[in-house]
């Protein structure tokens, strides 16, 4: 099993969740609290958890509130060089998202789960899948080209769930060793599908 999580910065907002098996059958839902996310993930006994959120801070910062040091990690700089928009992890809501992502990563690792950071928008660009800004239905149909089954066929599926499916798909590329890791291994990398 692979879990994909499109994490929100706040428990008040929707977090997309996807459990995907090796046949690319997906079960998706929208969750809110850290406890819900941890419980749903642990129940899957996932080999890998692929999270759309920063899971580390830039080298040279002692903590997320540190006002000194770089704003971007090396993986963020690499995305910018690829012309893929990304925000610094030290900016406003991104700080909250980063803290939440790092805390969930630690929680999953206590269950001996492998945790990777992904960027669904970048993965969608690389795979030729329209992003949610072009329409939820276009994103859904783009993902369906990869033979994904299950909840992707629900007409009421949300963009959060579709980004969670993308995150899980990146996890599948990772397990199949068809990925690139951008950034600095010691600082934290983003996993992208390799073509």
Query: What CATH code is carried by the domain that includes residue 97?
Result: 3.30.420.10
pLDDT confidence of residue 91:
81
* Local confidence band at 37 (pLDDT 50, 70, 90 cut-offs): very high
What one-character-per-residue DSSP string does 121-145 give? HHHHHHHTPPPGGG-HHHHHHHHHT
- Mean pLDDT across 45-68: 88
For the entire predicted model, the pTM comes to 0.94
**What is the three-class DSSP state of 186?**
coil
**What is the three-class DSSP state of 78?**
helix
Domain of residue 30, residue span: 2-193
**pLDDT at residue 17 is higher than 90:** yes
List pLDDT tens digits, range 19-29: 999 899 999 99
Count of domains observed in the chain: 1
Q: Distance (Å, rounded) from C-alpha 112 to C-alpha 57?
A: 22
Q: Distance (Å, rounded) from C-alpha 62 to C-alpha 34?
A: 24
């Amino acid at each position: 099993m692979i879990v994909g999580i499109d994490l929100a910065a706040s428990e008040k907002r929707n977090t997309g969740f996807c459990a995907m098996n090796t046949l690319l059958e997906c079960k998706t839902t929208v969750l809110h609290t850290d406890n819900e996310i941890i419980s749903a993930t642990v129940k899957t006994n996932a080999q890998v958890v692929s999270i759309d959120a920063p899971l580390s801070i830039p080298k040279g910062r002692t903590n997320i509130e540190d006002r000194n040091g770089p704003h971007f990690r090396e993986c963020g700089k690499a995305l910018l060089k690829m012309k893929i928009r990304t925000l610094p992890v030290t900016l406003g809501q991104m700080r909250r998202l980063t803290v939440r992502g790092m805390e969930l990563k630690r929680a999953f690792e206590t269950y001996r789960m492998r945790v990777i950071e992904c960027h669904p928008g970048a993965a969608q660009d690389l795979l030729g899948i329209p992003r949610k800004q072009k329409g939820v239905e276009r994103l859904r149909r783009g993902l369906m080209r990869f033979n994904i089954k299950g909840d992707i066929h629900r007409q009421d599926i949300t963009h959060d769930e579709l980004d969670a499916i993308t995150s899980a798909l990146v996890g599948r590329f990772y397990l199949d060793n068809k990925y690139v890791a951008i950034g600095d291994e010691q600082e934290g990398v983003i996993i992208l599908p390799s073509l």
